[in-house]
Amino acid sequence: MKLFTALALVILCVFVVSSSREEDDERRLDINAGEKRLDVIKRQGKRLALKQAKRDGAQKEVTNCPDQSMKFICESFDFDDSGNLDENELKDYHATVKYFSGDDGVMQAGEFTNMLVTIDVFDGDDDHLSHGEAHDMLFVISYFDSEPDKDLDDEEQRNFFHVVLIFAGSDQELQRREVEDLKTAVKTFDFPPPDQHLNKPDEQKKLSETCEYFAGNDFSLDPWEIATMRQVIDYFDGTDNVLDSEEAGAMLNIMSLFDSDGDQDLDERELHWLFISLRWFDYADGANGEIDEAELKDMNAVLSHIAGADKSIQAHEFNDLAVLVDIFDGEDDILQHEEAHHLIATLKKFDMEPQDGSLDDDERAALLGVVQYFAGDDQEMQDAEYQDMQLIIDLFDGDDDVFQQSEVENMLKTIAIFDFDKDGDLDDEERALLVKVATYFAGKNCELEAKEVEDMLKAIGGAASKDDMKAFLGDEQVCRDKMAQKMKPNL
């Protein structure tokens, strides 16, 4: 093949990828990720052109090539360099040509280029396709033939390249280990019941997106990134160790929350946050390395509230989450199911009107302030402390049981008055006195109306001592019973 023709393929390759990128906008909106993919293809095309120019005239001409316009392709399938394609070589040649000819069966220029690049990725360091390498190539291609109809349409070819080039690494040559990792990946995302094909809207899409999250800025998976991806998949694939569509979707949803910069890949810091969170919520069966359905529900509820309206966890949000988990996870520093539910219930209470299922910076700051007050000197939330905190929240959150900003502000003002030693938390005596006084002013309906809050702050504000406050002792048990009745539907 002439050097001019080879270089022309480079230009064509870049054009094909650029146009397919436009068609793919709805599926992958991140422009930076698209540019990373394009850079990889450009490098691959340049390398392919140089290799073809070097081989021009050196490869023995195949005498029985079915199509002389496919001369270079025929030479690639002449595994033994005999100058003649035997039955097995012809079989692999025809299968490959058919896959890339598309639904119309006519090889277009872009499809021809895609086929050349595919052969180049699979033919190893020696740039000579072997029988085994051809079989590996056809094995992977067959998984992206979703119909299956023995050909790849445009979307299937895009998805195929997206995944294969990620596994090929920075040298864009699939080494033996990378081939095995790639084959394992396509089989993993062939959700049950497996049919040896990946459908486009679900299995191909989820495989592609998962790989991209771990590939990093160089858009390639190194051994550490592949091992990390496997470890995350292991957390989500259930006790049967078989990933299904729902589990893969849950995994991608969790990973998206940790993609703080929205670039569709997780850097080392984001991965660190992800693994810490997985260990927090893997509390069943002695931390068995699996996130079961109940753990996933708890994890989603906590992370979605912490992530805020933009649905991505930033550094300051994760730091606040770490403080909260440390407070709620008890003296053993291991989060349990009930402790997780206490954390979730508290997060939900500070999602103020209008509620959106997430906490902004002000809501999260108020939450932390209240929680730290009730966690006491050791900053470990005991059951009695949690129950008192919930009672105080219930007294201040109004008839609708949904916090308004003013109600939270009044609650924080009141709590601060009972921190007599000004150390940022309430000891047992301070907490007990707060509960007694607040229930006294709340009255029989156990709801602190605006006028009652005003009266309370006037009575206990200023230089009021503990002895002064003991004049206002309410029947807290009545309010505890009312709160318990309200909580029953949520149990």
Residue 67 burial (C-beta neighbours within 10 Å; 0-12, 13-18, 19+): exposed
Average pLDDT per consecutive 10 residues, the chain (491 residues; last block may be shorter): 36 39 40 47 53 54 90 93 95 96 88 94 93 98 96 94 94 94 98 97 97 93 96 96 97 98 95 98 89 96 97 98 97 94 97 93 97 97 97 95 95 96 95 95 93 93 80 87 74 40
DSSP reduced 3-state for 191? coil
Q: Kindly report, residue by residue over 288-328, the tens digit of the pLDDT.
A: 999 999 999 999 999 999 999 999 999 999 999 999 999 99
Q: For residue 351, give both structure tokens.
A: 């999602």
**Using an 8 Å Cβ cutoff, are 114 and 161 in contact?**
yes
Identify which of 208, 310, 317, 307 has the alpha carbon closest to the alpha carbon of residue 265. 208
- The DSSP 8-state label assigned to residue 221 in this structure reads -
The span from the CA of 177 to the CA of 180, in Å, is 5
**Using an 8 Å Cβ cutoff, are 441 and 456 in contact?**
yes
Q: What is the pTM of this model?
A: 0.85
Distances (CA, A) of 150 to 65, 98, 142, 283: 21, 7, 7, 46
The span from the CA of 239 to the CA of 151, in Å, is 36
- Listing DSSP states for 286-352 in one string gives GT-S---HHHHHHHHHHHHHHHTTTT---HHHHHHHHHHHHHHTTTTT---HHHHHHHHHHHHHTSP
The span from the CA of 308 to the CA of 103, in Å, is 45
